[in-house]
Amino acid sequence: MPFDKFLDIQTITEARRKAIQQSLRTLGVDELKKIARDQLAEFEGDPWQENFLRIIAERPQGSFYSAVVPEGATVLYCREEDAGVWILPGGGMGPLEESGKRLLREAIGLPLSGEKEVRPSS
């Protein structure tokens, strides 16, 4: 039956949270450019590809992160822009929605929407 392996949204979200926490890593601009050549290039002309390339160009000193979710998609995120994309090689790409950004902010240790950032006192 097609519903034998049905997972509820909470189970999917928790699996993504764990995968993001385990695979999260910081990216430098050189590595981002390599990813742009290798993975984003197949989506030439896609508005989300162009938007993320613009972010990279405008924020060369920005904080960029990468993670992989259980479905096999790579997620790229820019902290300063609070923006990102998901890339499924050979499958598609699109904008990182609020729920995905929230999982990334949580894994990075940033305050979630509506919370105040706690900065260490000097």
Higher pLDDT among residues 65 and 14, named by residue? 65
Question: Residue 118 pLDDT more than 50?
Answer: no
Give the DSSP letter string of the chain.
Answer: -TTTT---HHHHHHHHHHHHHHH-EEE-HHHHHHHIIIIIGGGTT-HHHHHHHHHHHH-TTS-EEEEE-TTS-EEEEETTTTEEEEEETTTEEEEPPHHHHHHHHHHHTPPPTTSPPP----
Residue range 15-62, pLDDT digits in tens: 889 989 999 999 988 898 888 778 777 788 888 888 888 998 999 899
Average pLDDT of span 114-120 = 43
Percent of the chain with pLDDT over 70: 84
pTM: 0.78
What pLDDT does 4 receive? 58
Locate the domains of the chain by residue range: 9-108
Q: What is the mean pLDDT of the chain?
A: 82
What pLDDT does 29 receive? 84
